Structure 1
Amino acid sequence: MTTMLITGANKGIGFAAARGLVEAGHHVYLGSRDAERGRRAADRLGATAVQLDVTDDASVGAAAAAVEAAGGLDVLVNNAGIQGELSSDGVIGAPDLTAELMRHTFETNVFGIVRVLHAFLPMLSRSAAPVVVNVSSGLASLSRVTTPGTPAYAYRGVAYPASKTAVNAITVQYAKAFPQMRINAVEPGFTSTDLNGHAGAQTVEQGAEIIVRMAQLGPDGPTGGYFDAEGALPW
């Protein structure tokens, strides 16, 4: 049985991905910053809850120790993320961007991924078929955000797209450093979640489909790529 961990999985796309992977027969650790919410979500799915706050070294270290003691890990899905530039007045764009907002966004979306990777890579290295899925965004694509007339071009925010572009760069560099692993970034699509105030056009099940697919890659699958449900995306 393949053992998988999904961060930020007590709700939204992460929860839907956990459900899909449990139904596919995998042992899933459902990572959640709030231990009680995580336990309730895991109980609903038949998953195993693990308290994991990607912004906290001690929390990530404790989660890694617990997973290792239980037998190790084959697949890591870095799903936890925030979009702090959304406010009741709309999207906070470049004129009002502060270093604090940028730092807050990167702490979860970028540094959180590095923190979790650092803790779990030793376990993944011992797996026969290790996989990492980093949840990115279509807004990470510099090709898209520089193409007039597209939704990505029209988006005013800075912190969130910049953080996800960094996720793509992290994905490429880790894939080169660990060629025995399958390490990819995915774009779930504009999905209705708490992250965007439920403004998205598709369901969490639709958004989770690419995560579920890429989490189950075999050793001959792609690595160092950026994909949505339709295929490879432009950087």
Structure 2
Amino acid sequence: MSQDKQVAFVTGGNRGIGYELVKQLALKGFKVILASRDPKRGHEAAQKLKGLDLDVSFVMMDVDDQESIRQAAITVNEKYGRLDVLFNNAGLYFDENEKLLTMDPSILEKTMRTNFFGAYYVIHSFMPLMEKQRYGRIINVSSELGAMRDMSVQGAGAYKLSKLALNGLTQLVAAEIKGDIKINAVCPGWVSSDMGGPSAPRTPKQAAESILWLATIGPEGPHGGLFRDGKPIHW
């Protein structure tokens, strides 16, 4: 295996923004690992991209399952021995018009488990691969809805809290890591996907293009920030 290619890993890579991120990274010359909890859809998505002569492979991983995350990290280490770019893209959004105190609490728990703890455990398991080479780029796909100022507006409480926590995690990890390892959060905007619905103004391709730049920033690039369309936005 040639070691000169950088390796990228994308969670929730079988559809929407994740699929476009996998495709665009591969077009840029990365060896890309498409992670999905659905083996059938994940494998099909990877095969489709391989059919375009792109260097894409599939790993089954459920961000709700710590053991599956641990196994995926072992697989990546054994197969590639490195990880250069990590996109925490997997996420869900259940509670558009629900009130936080009257919704079924399991909605909040499930949302936090996927959107926050999922990203935390993925970073926790894959960070040693980046520390080994003292290089890495971690991009958390977050949302402007996770900004503190948005907490004073009712609606989507579970989703907002999960992204508020993810934004906080981004800053805390940024304060801890050493070497040329950078972590940032991005807001892809309102995207026409299974999550965003058909009336959203942005395509997954546009969303992916607006956040891909963080995968290739140099050592002087941003660290511990939240960005939308390449511009910093307030927490």
Q: Name the TM-score, length of structure 2 as normaliser.
A: 0.90
CA separation in 2, counterparts of 1:145 and 1:118?
27
Q: Match of 1:163?
A: 162
On the 8 A contact 1:129/1:218 being kept in 2, the answer is no
Deviation string 1:123-163 (CA, Å, 9 cap, x unpaired) is 011235311000101101123555xxxxxx4x612000110
CA separation in 1, counterparts of 2:134 and 2:140?
20
| Gap change, CA 1:130 and 1:230, over 3 Å in 2 | closer
- Tell me, yes or no, if structure 1 residue 2 matches structure 2 residue 11: no
**Aligned pairs, number:** 224
Q: Match of 2:91?
A: 81
Q: Match of 1:132?
A: 138
Give the aligned residue type for 2:25. L
On the 8 A contact 2:115/2:162 being kept in 1, the answer is yes
On the 8 A contact 1:143/1:234 being kept in 2, the answer is no
On the 8 A contact 1:73/1:123 being kept in 2, the answer is yes
Q: Match of 1:149?
A: none
Q: For 2:128, what is the secondary structure of its paired residue?
A: helix
**Which of the numbers 51, 65, 71 marks the counterpart of 2:60?**
51
Q: Match of 1:70?
A: 79
* Identity within the alignment, %: 35
Which segments of 5 or more consecutive residues in structure 2 lack a partner in the other structure? none
Deviation string 1:18-40 (CA, Å, 9 cap, x unpaired) is 11111111111000001121111
RMSD: 1.5
On the 8 A contact 2:134/2:178 being kept in 1, the answer is no
Q: For 2:9, what is the secondary structure of its paired residue?
A: strand
Task: Note the C-alpha offset of 1:201.
Answer: 1.4
Aligned residue runs from structure 1 range 3-152, under 5 A: 3-45=7-49, 46=54, 47-71=56-80, 72-86=82-96, 91-144=97-150, 146=152
Give the aligned residue type for 1:107. R
Which segments of 5 or more consecutive residues in structure 1 lack a partner in the other structure? 147-152
